[in-house]
Amino acid sequence: QSALTQPASVSGSPGQSITISCTGTSSDVGGYNYVSWYQQHPGKVPKLMIYEVSNRPSGVSNRFSGSKSGNAASLTISGLQAEDGADYYCSSYTTSSTLVFGGGTKLTVL
């Protein structure tokens, strides 16, 4: 049950777009369309931002989008805003019928 691989940090200026990658294997990200993304502000509870690779729950801004290619998934945030600064985690279902998270990415809005 190895964690998915995410960059430790990314940054961008307000109004720009950024992409956070999430790399797994054919046993998790590449094998299922059950990739999800979470936003967590310091001291707060994680919030679901994307599920099933590219679907947004009701209430989540359309500035957030998800995609997948092979064993890697991506979260793109367009039109960066100050409040987007947070930790982001990806998650995937696996062939072992377990779930696994990425190590998390800290997004800094400059």
Closest CA to 28 of 1, 56, 61: 1
Q: Is 38 in the site for other proteins (CB under 8 A)?
A: yes
Here the tokens at position 20 are 């956070």
Q: State the amino acid at position 2 in one-letter form.
A: S
Residues 70, 88: Cα–Cα separation, whole Å:
21
**Does position 93 bind other proteins by CB under 8 A?**
yes
d(CA 79, CA 42): 22
Burial zone of 1 (CB within 10 Å; 0-12 exposed, 13-18 middle, 19+ buried)? exposed
Kindly tell me which residue out of 12, 32, 54, 56 binds other proteins, with binding defined by CB under 8 A: 32
Q: Is 110 among the residues that bind other proteins (CB under 8 A)?
A: no
Using CB under 8 A as the binding rule, the residues of this chain from 50 to 89 that contact other proteins are 51-52, 57, 87, 89
* Region binding other proteins by CB under 8 A among candidate stretches 12-20, 71-79, 101-109: 101-109
Answer yes or no whether residue 95 interacts with other proteins by CB under 8 A: no
Catalog residues that contact other proteins under the rule CB under 8 A.
1, 3, 32, 34, 36, 38, 40, 45-48, 51-52, 57, 87, 89, 91, 93, 96-104
